[in-house]
Amino acid sequence: MDLYTLVTSALCTLVLPLLLLCTAVKLWEVYCLSRRDSSCNWPLPPGTMGLPFFGETLQMVLQRRKFLQYKRRKYGYIYKTHLFGTPTVRIMGTDNVRQILLGEHKLVSVHWPASVRTILGSGCLSNLHNSQHKNMKKVIMQAFSREALENYVPIMEEEMQRAMNLWLQSGSCLLVYPAVKRLMFRIAMRILLGFELEQMDPALEQPLVEAFEEMIRNLFSLPIDVPFSGLYRGLRARNIIHAKIEENIKEKLQREPDGSCKDALQLLIDHSRLSGEPVNLQSLKESATELLFGGHGTTASAATSLITFLGLHKGIVQKVRQELDSKGLLSNNPEERKDLTIDLLQQLTYTGCVLKETLRLSPPVPGGFRVALKTFVLNGYQIPKGWNVIYSIADTHDVAEIFTNKDEFDPDRFLTPLPEDSSRFGFIPFGGGVRSCVGKEFAKILLKIFIVHLCRNCDWELLNGPPTMKTGPIVYPADNLPTKFIPFNSTA
């Protein structure tokens, strides 16, 4: 074979596919840009649309924070991309977020990616709209009333004391993130779904935790349901969870309604009975799965971040303990300390500031998903009808002008009330507007109690120092936060 033939063969083998790929990418870009609203004179936001069909989903899933940080540096507070099969505009910043959150039902509507809608199901609160969303939210909110929260406090304390006793017996190293996930999972199972975990075989609890982890890991994936795909694995894990929840629902259906304080799942069952319609078992399973996701995944992330920041700032731990001591809550001896109540928790001002600062620097949920109901203009750019809109919580906190020295962990910044309008849209760990987190008061109480028990029972050391944080889809430490726990003696 002569040299000419070799060169020609090499060109055909290497160059031609590359040219075809470049052509396909260019045609894809032209196609995506053709979906702009020609009746609107404002330009589309800057940005790129990635590969044909896949868009930039693979980069986002694989790189997460690195990908998002690169986009923000290059394009600023608003840019276009193509994620999970749909043209998308990602936004951040107080003014941009204000327009999106106040535009619910007028400019935008909640619209999670297809994989999320498929795995969680159409019957859960996050995927409902209008009157259906309003009615179900009203029912679920009963489970987060002040009276209900007061009844939950002893259960939260019991589970936390149990968990921390095990942590203190763990020896030289405990992987914090898996341990905290298990703690929060147990609390959510007992309080939100009414599971009697004492009657559950411990051998059955761990597979349920693992199934939930698998489901969450694949919640945001390409909408391709084929063997070994993310969506396929997520649905298989979801089915394991549904089977266990169905058993619980059937047990609850056999009980007669009473006037006692009820878990969220029982309230949904009672509501179904009162409507006079047949109980929709699938809808109840979807709602229960969503409650577990919201009730344990996000709180586990926040609790792990609390251990991280407090472990790196021992002086702040001392200030928390001083506040606990002033309220009669520091002693390890139950006979010497006051009982925790909602009123007493609300008096823990500095502890509350520690929680807020943790949620500012490390919000568990990165952002919220919407879809444009009509073409509108945002910060000088058109957002075409039908495009997805993602508002970023973490980036909005990072660029909010109300915060100075943004990289520092400084709970004192929250001792002075923030300007109401700026903080309403510049500090949004629970989202905002009519779609703000339904369980945010539950989460605040739970995490405050966690801080109390952590600082009252434990001293700890982060064995690897400050962790690298990842998102998948909830924020977590890449190394699972190996930590050494030792007992704290309040009388020492």
> Tens of pLDDT along 176-196?
999 999 999 999 989 888 887
Contact 455, 325 (CB under 8 A): no
Q: Is residue 8 part of a domain?
A: no
CA 490 to CA 492: how far, in whole Å? 6
pLDDT at 126: 82
CA 446 to CA 114: how far, in whole Å? 31
Contact 181, 296 (CB under 8 A): yes
Q: Is residue 7 part of a domain?
A: no
| Three-state DSSP class for residue 428 | coil
**Whose CA is closest to 231, among 242, 221, 241?**
221
pLDDT at 56: 87
State how beta strands 469-471 and 475-477 pair.
antiparallel
> Tens of pLDDT along 76-89?
999 999 988 889 99
Contact 489, 332 (CB under 8 A): yes
More confident residue, 114 or 14: 114
Q: Is residue 99 part of a domain?
A: yes
CA 483 to CA 308: how far, in whole Å? 9
Q: What is the DSSP string of 91-107?
A: E-SHHHHHHHHHTBTTT
pLDDT at 408: 95
What is the arithmetic mean of pLDDT over 387-402?
A: 93
Query: CATH number of the domain that 97 lies in?
Result: 1.10.630.10
Q: What total of structural domains would you count in the chain?
A: 1
| Three-state DSSP class for residue 477 | strand
* pLDDT reading at 10 higher than 90: no
> In 330-424, which ranges are E strands?
367-372, 376-378, 381-383, 388-392
Q: Is residue 416 part of a domain?
A: yes
Q: Is residue 257 part of a domain?
A: yes
pLDDT at 33: 65
CA 69 to CA 76: how far, in whole Å? 10
Q: Is residue 58 part of a domain?
A: yes
Q: Is residue 11 part of a domain?
A: no
Task: Retrieve residue 63's tokens.
Answer: 């790189």
Domain containing 57: what range? Answer: 35-487
pLDDT at 294: 80
C-alpha torsion sign, points 220, 303, 182, 270: negative
Q: Per mean pLDDT, which range of 36-40, 196-200, 298-302 is the poorest?
A: 196-200
Question: Which residues touch 233 (CB under 8 Å, ≥6 apart)?
Answer: 214, 217, 218
State how beta strands 388-392 and 381-383 pair.
unpaired
> In 213-269, which ranges are E strands?
none
What is the arithmetic mean of pLDDT over 486-491?
A: 82
User: Average per-residue pLDDT in the chain?
Assistant: 87
Task: Retrieve residue 212's tokens.
Answer: 């939930």
| Three-state DSSP class for residue 270 | helix
CA 492 to CA 475: how far, in whole Å? 36
pLDDT at 167: 95
Q: Is residue 267 part of a domain?
A: yes
More confident residue, 318 or 192: 318
Residue 57 burial by Cβ neighbours in a 10 Å radius (0-12, 13-18, 19+)? buried
Tell whether pTM > 0.85.
yes
